[in-house]
A and B are shown apart, each in its own frame.
Chain A
Amino acid sequence: MNCDEFRLLLAEAWGGELAGPARAEFEAHRQACTACGREYDSGRATLDVLRELSGPRAVRLRREGARLVFEDVAGVAAPVGGRRPRWASVSRYAAGLLLAFVGGYGLHAGLMLSSAGPVSSAPAEVGAAPSPRLDATFEAALARAHYRNPTASGLAKCVTALAAVGRAGSGVAPQ
């Protein structure tokens, strides 16, 4: 056997399908030719490295109606849905928006009540009245916040107005 004939048998040798007299000749040439021996050994080692990769764990498949259920044989509970369905993230997003809207509306309503109560019921004190430059009421502050930034969210306007009212109460001029 020469080197060309040896190379023609490499696939069978690496694939474990070389048998009979051809195998004996192949082995003889491999022992005799250093280059061919190295070629075979390096390929063999490559395949061994490939086989070193850990294999899959035991799993089993069963069918439930129109669904396929994949289970871990070892009894380890596989979490359902390694990847969440798209509707789940959409519904979470919608729920978040709804909560934000309700929260913002509630906060707005609460601020309106809390600011309207004391201002209307408490007697005005001499010396504590805000100057005309300051926001005297929450409604005025809210209107000013809306005028300054009409595209801001309702919640942002409420917070801005609340801060303005607070500054007015403490005698600090709005920025």
Chain B
Amino acid sequence: MTFSGATSSPGFEAYIHDVYGWAYRVLGHHHDALDVVQDVFLKWNRQCAADLPEQPRGWLRRVTLNRALDVRRAQQVRTAAQRAQVPTDAGREPRLAMTNPAEAEESQRALRDRLTGALAELSDMQRSVLVAKVYDNLTFAELAEEMGVAVSTVKTHYVRAVQAVRDRLTTGGVDEVLP
């Protein structure tokens, strides 16, 4: 995929794989994630034309997650509208085990829907801390430096984010996987 537009923005290449990874975690689809990368890249260019972000990685993570969640919400609205037109199979017996890749993929999609719903309800800071800790394996000290806040603040956001996602999953029907 080629991104049109000048790449005069300093340093975007250093973060592009991270941007792609954050978008992919939320969207679970290669081309959708690339679309988000493109959007973020354009926003980065605009931002750099005005003023370079003080903490580029943190800025990119926040912007990417917000954009990916917007895309995800739009997809869910479309999917819900399509499903509303399809007759339901409420009378069919539920299957107890996943027997084929299609079911596994459906299960993964449902899980991603619940998790992205939970992530969407977090504050920007909580979401960034959680994603950075889980997927980027940053330490609290690194995160605090990146975000320009105290380590204790990062820890507080992390704990609240985990608890909020847990509560959302527990009430959202995934409680069989949680103790």
The chain A residues found within 8 Å of chain B, CB to CB, are 10-12, 14-15, 17, 38, 41-43, 45-47, 49-57, 59, 61, 63-64, 66-72, 78-83, 85
Contact = CB atoms under 8 A, between A and B. Distances in A.
Q: Which of A12, A59, A79 is most buried by chain B, counting CB atoms within 10 A of its CB?
A: A59
Contact of A49 (B17, B37, B158, B169): B169
A11 B17 contact: no
A146 B77 CA distance: 46
Given A11-B158, A43-B162, A59-B20, A52 B1 contact: no
A58 B8 CA distance: 25
What 4 A-B pairs are tightest by C-beta distance, nearest first?
A: A11-B155, A56-B24, A46-B166, A82-B31
Contacts of B166: 42-43, 45-46
B90 to A, nearest CB: 27
Contacts of A66: 6-8
Contacts of B7: 63, 66-68
A83 B38 contact: yes
Contacts of A55: 21, 24-25, 135
A78 B1 CA distance: 6
Interface string B22-48: 001100101111110110010000000
A78 B35 CA distance: 12
Given A50-B115, A50-B165, A80 B177 contact: no
Given A53-B25, A54-B108, A46 B2 contact: no
